[in-house]
Amino acid sequence: MGRATLRRILEVYPELQITALVRPHTPEARLAEFMGRIEVFPLDLADIPGLKEFLKDREFDTILHIGALRGGRKYSKKDYFLSNTASTEQMVEYCLIHHTRLIFCSSVGVYGAIPGELPANLESTLNPDNYYHYTKIEAEKIINRAILKGLQAAIVRPSITYGKGDYGFPYQLVKMVHKYRFPLISKRIWIHLCHIDALVDAFMWILSHEHRSGLTWNVADRDPVQLNALVDFISRQVHNKNFSRWLKVDPLFFRIGESVSRWLKNELFTSRFELISRSWFYDVQEYYRIMEAEGKAPYFTIPGIRITINDYLGK
């Protein structure tokens, strides 16, 4: 996410002076393409004293806050809170003092893994159904309170992204279909993914246009896609045949799996069961209204998911 955004910024605005925070011990090979073009500063966002020290003598026109601990990782609640919420609070305080613009990458997870309203929209109830989502909701609250004090800010809520070098849910979906291990539920499910370029387009528009403070967008592909259609598309790319015609699983399996995961308090497995057994999609009309006015073509998961299929296949 950060890498793709940085590439685009450097393509469009090569004259900008950019400082990028990266996790300590990030392999040099991952940073090689940017060395000599930007300042790279190793800093763990959970290190709040270190973040304060870093910001103390710096002057930035804009802070693009993409960094976070993503859901389902083996970190403590303290680590999640420091990295996702407390770090945001420090940046907000800096931006208020220095009149710096803040662009914050949140998540559609603020509606919960499975939104209570479909499509989830900007008026939908927020649901801290796991601790990662809670930290994002709290970070948004900090930003919105600061907007009342004069902060110039925008909030972008991407859905689950897919793209080259991203090994999250879409990549694992491709892998499981390829290995004939994906448990496809025997009912119609709609899911709503986000091509990485759709997210980058959102950041680039906000960077280059004046906008009202508090601008908030849900960002995903133009339309949700039926899970069985997506699985069949992936299967045709990797096996040259449909997947759903020969392997479907009764919904009872997923209900049992979800219940057991909740009983074990395993947020990762709970979300995995939910994401492939319930529908989740979002209202992205406002985002695409702006993008289409700029002449940007919309993104569609089919065939867009080929970027992940090719990455998995090493093409």
- DSSP notation for 229-265: HHHHHHHHHHHSS-STTT--B-HHHHHHHHHHHHHTT
> For the chain, what is the mean pLDDT?
91
- Listing DSSP states for 178-240 in one string gives HTT----BSS--EE--EEHHHHHHHHHHHHHS---TTEEEEE--SS-EEHHHHHHHHHHHHHS
Mean pLDDT, residues 149-166 = 96
For the cut 70, the answer to whether the pLDDT of residue 69 exceeds it is yes
- Give the model confidence (pLDDT) of 183-231 as tens digits: 888 789 999 999 999 999 999 999 999 999 999 999 999 999 999 999 9
Domains defined for the chain, CATH in brackets = 2-163+193-224+280-298 (3.40.50.720)
Residue the block writes with tokens 């308090």: 265
pTM: 0.92
Mean pLDDT, residues 76-92 = 95
Q: What is the percentage of the chain residues whose pLDDT exceeds 70?
A: 92
